[in-house]
Structure 1
Amino acid sequence: MHPRNFRRPRHLAVVAALALGATSLAACGGGGGAGLLAAIEVGTVKVGTKYDQPGLGMRAPDGSMSGLDVDVAEYVVEHIAEAKGWDAPQIEWTETPSAQRETLIQNGQVDMIAATYSINKGRSESVNFGGPYLLTHQALLVTEADREIQSLEDLDGKILCSVTGSTPAQTVKDELPGVQLQEYDTYSGCVEALGNGSVDAMTTDATILGGYSAQRPGEFRLVELTGSDGEPFTDEYYGVGLKKDDQEATDAINAALEELISSGEWTRLVEENLGGTEGVVEGSVGDLSFLDG
């Protein structure tokens, strides 16, 4: 399987969607409701991702998409289509802010989501997850000029920014009650607030923060977070979200992700999008035992 080589012209899939979609999609309530595999077979898949995360999910002014999660989603969709003997479908991208991801899946507004989507027990009660395809850890982003914040403890009494619906900031708040939380709808809002001094630090996954730091060299720096045991403060397992209890589609996603990793394509995509694999480890696809921890 060579995903970069099977990005075929999709006009045939679009034609198929137009020809078959009127009946099939109407029957499932306007798209998304019948599940991921049905959408791929029909020829139009609604995929959710982030639009403002450099190296992970970015939407350019011309509407084109780029980033690791974008590449992973394309690989999964096209792998499933090829495995089933279907034409490669048209992908319709949808912005999926952290606080809206489960709702968008449950309402059938998207068929799947790859959007720095950390798998946890609460979310897994609402949606299914394929993966994990990546393991990263929580970190901080501070300005290059700020030398006061060097560790988790240095945040006490500081203003910490993250996005609404994301877990990392609350995790820090639980550890340090003196932290003042400031939430924005998007990570880019946090970056701007950090840049203009409205907040002291921003927290989320190291993958996300590394992308912003690389985008604005010399302005920000990363601070690794460790617990009292010296281990990473959190483990963040990225997965592909889809409709709850759709086991067939979950298995198909996992088969795609397993090949993505075993083929070496995962490493290539991480290096291409994030500039290296530092702080990023490939996931153990299908192993969700960490949810019981």
Structure 2
Amino acid sequence: MRARLTGSAALAAAVLLAAGACGVAGAESSITAKDELVVGVNPDQPGVGLKARNGDYVGFDPDIARAVAKRLGGPAKKLRFKAVTSETRERMLKDGDVDMVVASYSITPDRKADVTFAGPYYVAHQDILVRATDAASVPDVRGLEGKSLCEVPGSVSFPRVKKERGVPVRPVRAAKGYGECFDLLAQKKVFAVSTDDLILAGQAARVAKGEAPGPELKIVNAPFSEEPYGIGVRKGDIDGCEKINKAITELYQQTAAGRDSEAVTLLKRWFGPAHLNTTSTVPQFEGCD
């Protein structure tokens, strides 16, 4: 005999079905269906993502976000930027405070449990930034032994040096992100900063151009990890992810006149003065899962 659902039982079943769908982006919540995209970017990483004095967000990541949005099609062309940090990125995506995160956001297995990642749009490498006068004493990551290294809450960079590489460094905590780390480096309150090379190159370029005070800075050029920068969207937004991947591919396509691709042009614009060797080919995508 087939059981019949009472009114209350039917309501309970509906609630359970809704709960099961919770956390998965439906068609109506995909970035492709939005009139305006709120994009999470870093406010304190020169060259990568920086909030200027006039309130605008400038750098490689905001420019990538603008270029991707133009290629998404439909109404998703209006952008509004909002500051995120290493600690707040996942939560702001989950809570709907931002629709997309382009913020030197390395794709990791742990993060993929909560976020759908498009890309990567660039593969950075963790390196070390020191004052130029100290560069000779740090040939590689082992040269940081016993020295003070800036630590940013929520970032994987410091644990990678101390725990994964087993280098006994002395932490100096910077609560407000890498911008504060660079201030500490200039003030000789920390010996080194170690994180993604684009972040380091952005600050080195800024000092080289006279846009930031402080002593000359040098990247050690001894990379010891790969940091695939992804564009984070709400978990389950496969359609949005696939369209972003198509846009990223187009960013790396060379122009008909043989000029640099748009991605390479942006890399040179923001990191050229730091003399960082950058990649000019589209990275291998990791899949929208």
Deviation, 1:129, is 0.5
Q: TM-score, structure 1 length as denominator? A: 0.78
Q: 1:9-48, aligned counterparts within 5 Å?
A: 34-39=29-34, 43-48=35-40
CA distance in 1, matches of 2:66, 2:240: 15
Aligned to 2:118: 130
> For 1:256, which of 247, 265, 268 is the aligned residue?
247
CA distance in 1, matches of 2:282, 2:107: 12
Q: Which runs of 5+ in 1 are unaligned?
A: 1-32, 226-231
CA deviation profile, 1:141-197 (whole Å, cap 9, x unmatched): 111222422321111111111321111111000113521222322111001111112
Aligned to 1:55: 47
Contact 1:128 1:244 in 2 (8 A): yes
CA distance in 2, matches of 1:164, 1:283: 30
> For 2:232, which of 234, 241, 252 is the aligned residue?
241
| Amino acid of the structure 2 residue aligned with 1:120 | T
Aligned to 1:200: 191
Contact 1:80 1:256 in 2 (8 A): yes
Aligned to 1:286: 285
Aligned to 1:167: 156
CA distance in 1, matches of 2:145, 2:225: 18
Indicate the SS of the match to 1:98: coil
Aligned to 2:143: 154
Q: TM-score, structure 2 length as denominator? A: 0.79
Contact 2:99 2:233 in 1 (8 A): yes
Indicate the SS of the match to 1:209: helix
Aligned to 1:69: 61
Q: Which has the larger radius of gyration?
A: 2
Q: Which runs of 5+ in 2 are unaligned?
A: 1-27, 209-214, 255-260
CA distance in 2, matches of 1:182, 1:67: 26
| Amino acid of the structure 1 residue aligned with 2:121 | Y
Correspondence 1:178 to 2:168: yes
CA-atom RMSD in angstroms: 2.1
Aligned to 1:116: 104
| Amino acid of the structure 1 residue aligned with 2:29 | A
| Amino acid of the structure 2 residue aligned with 1:38 | A
> For 2:269, which of 264, 272, 285 is the aligned residue?
272
CA distance in 2, matches of 1:70, 1:172: 28
CA distance in 1, matches of 2:152, 2:98: 21
| 242-251 or 262-271, which deviates more | 262-271
CA distance in 1, matches of 2:122, 2:155: 17
> For 1:216, which of 207, 212, 221 is the aligned residue?
207
Seq. identity, %:
32
Note closer, same or farther for the CA distance 1:148–1:278 as it changes in structure 2 (3 Å cut). Answer: closer
Deviation, 1:96, is 0.9
Indicate the SS of the match to 2:54: coil
Ranges of 4+ aligned residues in structure 1 off by more than 6 Å: none
Indicate the SS of the match to 2:63: helix
Note closer, same or farther for the CA distance 1:215–1:121 as it changes in structure 2 (3 Å cut). Answer: same
CA distance in 1, matches of 2:229, 2:287: 11
Contact 1:162 1:204 in 2 (8 A): no
